Structures are given as C-alpha cells and as structure tokens.
Structure 1
Amino acid sequence: MSTKPSVLFVCVHNAGRSQMAAAYLTHLAGDRIEVRSAGSAPADSVNPAVVEALLEEGIDISAETPKVLTTEAVQASDYVITMGCGDACPFFPGKTYLDWVLTDPAGQGVDAVRPIRDEIRGRIEGLIAEIDAAAASSAS
C-alpha cells in the first residue's frame, strides 16, 4: 500500500489544464507524490499549444494521451482538483476537493496558454507546500 499522497487533476477534455497541472506536479515533486489526470469527456489528443508551452519550461508531455475519469481514480486519490468539469466528478468522503477556476486553453494559441501555464505552476507550488505540511504534521 502506497503511503505517498496522491493527486488527481480533472477537467473536461484532459487535454490542457489537467495535463499541465499533472506535468508540473510530477516535474516539481518528483516521485514524492502520485499524480493522475483525467477528463469527464476526454479529447482525442493533448492540446498542441499546451505541449508547446510546457516544452518552453523543459517539460515534454507530447507522449501523454487524455484519459477518461473513473470512479476508481477518484477513490485512489487523496486530493481531487477539478478545473471546470462541474458535477462530473464523483464525490467520496475523506478526500480533499479543490476547484481551480482557470481559463480553458482549448482553441487558444501558445501566447494565450502561457499565462494559464504560469498560473497553474503557482498553484502547483502552493499545493506541494500544503501536501508537505500535511505530511509533516501527520508524521509527528
């Protein structure tokens, strides 16, 4: 049984915001946190402008594919972070649910995606601090 904290990012298409958030969390936290992402209505592929914007940060998600949201993924996660998918996400007691209101990068060029990317990075840095603080307080 993994004792690592786990985070699930959910947006509608799993092609933009949730992919960026998952990539940043993996990049910044390494293997300390288990990371998943999914969509309530996954797209066929990740948004190319999102791939390009993350490449500028040295993060390559070109091999990622959108995944469908499953009840099992929610049950297996400590934190469930939704981004514009509303009520599509199943609710389970004992999870930490956060709703991040972010601009949807769908149909946007890389210039429009960069500020979304930068906002997501800031939120991920805050989330890592929150998870680390929770882990430290439960370990003591």
Structure 2
Amino acid sequence: MLFVCVHNAGRSQMAAAFLTHLTDGRVEVRSAGSAPADQVNPAVAAAMAEVGIDISAETPKVLTVEAVRASDVVITMGCGDTCPVFPGKTYLDWQLEDPAGQGVEAVRPIRDEIKKRIDGLIKEILPESP
C-alpha cells in the first residue's frame, strides 16, 4: 500500500503510520510525495503523538515509479496527476484538507478523518480484523 501527497510531510505520513500501527505490520506500507518537504510537519507529528503514534523520526520521501510498481494499492491525497498509473493496481483518491502551515488544532480533524478511512480500509483488506 502506497500513500501519496505533495510533501509527504502530513496526510500520507499519518495514513501510513495509522495503517502500520493498526495492522501490527501485517501490511507493507509506503508513503511518498511528489515534492517532498525537508521534514515531517511538526503539527502533524504532535497530533499523531496525541494518539500514541510517534512519526517524528520519519523522513519525507520522493515518489518513485518503483514505489508505485511495488504497491498493489495507491492512495493519493491531493498530489494531482504526478502519480504514475500502471495496469492492475488499485488507485483511490482521498480528498483531504492539507495540514501544511496549520497548527495542531487544525490538524486534529484531518488526523481523525484519516484514521476513520484507514479503519474502513483495514476492514476491506483484512476482514478478520476487529
């Protein structure tokens, strides 16, 4: 599973962290950005820490063709048409507000919406999960 947003510093990092955490590593998870930032958004890291997930050591990564090829499912979050498309992959586009430049108060509802979507995704890909 590959999560893609522009800077790989907010939405895609939260989604990847939630999926990894909630599936205990049973799903291979990647995240990337079409124009990666230098670091994870500090407000995003703080919002995730509030729910017990530390992403402060994560580093934004550039979107590569190899990452897309290696993923069965690609979920984009506002990265436009920069994501390469390959036959046989599942592509989803999640419309989510960009947390860039916002404080923790504004990030919390974005975080909570991502968690809700990840919970639904887990039910689809791992139906035996609670």
TM over 0.5: yes
Residue from 102, 105, 109 that aligns with 1:111: 105
Residue from 107, 122, 129 that aligns with 1:128: 122
Query: Are 2:25 and 1:31 aligned?
Result: yes
Say which SS state the counterpart of residue 34 (structure 1) adopts.
Answer: coil
Q: Give the share of equivalent positions with the same residue, in percent.
A: 79
How far is 1:30 from its partner? 1.1
Say which SS state the counterpart of residue 37 (structure 2) adopts.
Answer: coil
Distance in 1 of aligned mates of 2:21 and 2:37: 23
Number of aligned residues:
128
**Unaligned 5+ runs, structure 1:** 1-6, 136-140
Distance in 2 of aligned mates of 1:115 and 1:68: 26
Normalized against structure 1, the TM-score is what? 0.90
Distance in 1 of aligned mates of 2:73 and 2:24: 17
How far is 1:114 from its partner? 0.1
Higher helix proportion (structure 1 or 2): 1
Residue from 55, 63, 68 that aligns with 1:69: 63
* Larger Rg computed on CA atoms: 1
Distance in 2 of aligned mates of 1:86 and 1:30: 30
Q: After TM superposition, what 4+ stretches of structure 1 lie above 4 angstroms from structure 2?
A: none
Normalized against structure 2, the TM-score is what? 0.96
Give 1:1-140 correspondences, 5 Å limit.
Answer: 7-133=1-127
CA root-mean-square deviation: 1.0
Q: Aligned partner of 1:104: which letter?
A: D
